[in-house]
Amino acid sequence: MIRTRSALPAVVAVATALALGGCKAGDGSSGSSGSAGKAPHGSALAAADALTVKGRAPKTGYARKEFGSAWSDTDHNHCPTRDDVLKRDLRDIRYKSGDCQVTSGTLVEDPYTGTTIKFVRGHSKVDIDHVVALSDAWQKGAQQWDKAKRTALANDPLNLLAVDSSTNRSKGDGDTATWLPAYKPARCGYVARQVAVKKKYGLWVTGAEQNAMKRVLSGCPSEKLPTG
C-alpha cells in the first residue's frame, strides 16, 4: 500500500522560508560589502562579519568517509537523513509501503534554479546538497575535529537542501566566493544558511569568502540567520 501526502506541511513551509526568504530587497548580486554595525542584531550579515577569517588549509587527507557513513540516522528516528530531507523539502510525497523511504515527490521552486523538478527514486534529478561542502569544511577546520562532530555536520538538516542534481554537481566544493545559485531570488537565503552552518560549527572563512558573503547579504541586510 502506498501512502500519499498532497498538502504541504508546516515544516516544508519553514524550510522553504529558510532557503529562499528575505531576498525581495535585492538579489545580492551587486552592492558594497556592507557594515556589520548597520546590520540588525541577529542578521546573517552581522554573523558573516563575525566569522573567523583564515587561509584555506590543504585538502590533504580528505575523504567522504571521514564524515561518517552517508546519510546516517543521527536523529535516531529510524529513517536515513536523505529521506528526512526529502520529506521536508518535497511536496506530494509517496512512500514505500511500511517504510519511511520516499519513492516520489515534487521539488517546487528548486533553490538553485527556481524550476519545479519531479523526484522519482532511482531516476531522480534531485540531489541532497551539503550547502557547506564537506571538502570545504575539511579545509576550514573540520580536519581538526573528531569523527562524531564531522558526522553531525554531514547530517545536519541546517546544512542540507534538496536541489537540482546537475546544478549541485557543477557547484562541487565551491564556497560563496566561487559559486552562487543562478536563481538570484534564492541567493540571500543560500548565503545566510552557509553563514549559519559555519557559525554553528566554528568553521572559518577565507577573506574572499567573507567579502562575497557580505556583498550578497548587503542586498538583504535584514535576512535572519537560519537556525536548525
pLDDT for position 6: 41
Is residue 34 over pLDDT 90?
A: no
pLDDT digits (tens, 9 = 90+) for 44-96: 999 999 999 999 999 999 999 999 999 989 999 999 999 999 999 999 999 99
pLDDT digits (tens, 9 = 90+) for 172-182: 999 999 999 99
Please give the full DSSP string across 109-150, using - where no structure is assigned: S-TTT---EEEETTS-SEEEEESS-HHHHHTTTGGGS-HHHH
pLDDT digits (tens, 9 = 90+) for 166-206: 999 999 999 999 999 999 999 999 999 999 999 999 999 99
pLDDT for position 204: 98
pLDDT digits (tens, 9 = 90+) for 129-156: 999 999 999 999 999 999 999 999 999 9
Q: Percent helix, strand, coil in the chain (nearest 5)?
A: 40, 15, 45
- For residues 8 and 69, give the distance between their C-alpha atoms in angstroms, rounded to a whole number: 30
pLDDT for position 26: 44
- For residues 114 and 23, give the distance between their C-alpha atoms in angstroms, rounded to a whole number: 13
Query: Which element (helix H / strand E) includes 160?
Result: strand 160-164
3-class SS letters over 2-18: CCEECCCCHHHHHHHHH
Rounded to two decimals, the pTM is: 0.82
Q: 587561509: which residue's cell?
A: 55
pLDDT for position 38: 65
Nearest alpha carbon to residue 127 among 94, 171, 95, 158: 171
79 and 73 Cβ atoms separated by less than 8 Å: yes
Average pLDDT of the segment spanning 195-223 = 98
How large a percentage of the chain has pLDDT more than 70?
83
How large a percentage of the chain has pLDDT more than 90?
75
Nearest alpha carbon to residue 67 among 151, 135, 10, 131: 151
179 and 13 Cβ atoms separated by less than 8 Å: no
pLDDT for position 42: 82
Quick one: DSSP state of residue 159?
A: G
- pLDDT greater at residue 37 or residue 167: 167
- Going from the C-alpha of 28 to that of each of 120, 196, 201, the distances in angstroms are 33, 17, 25
- For residues 214 and 159, give the distance between their C-alpha atoms in angstroms, rounded to a whole number: 19
Average pLDDT of the segment spanning 12-25 = 40
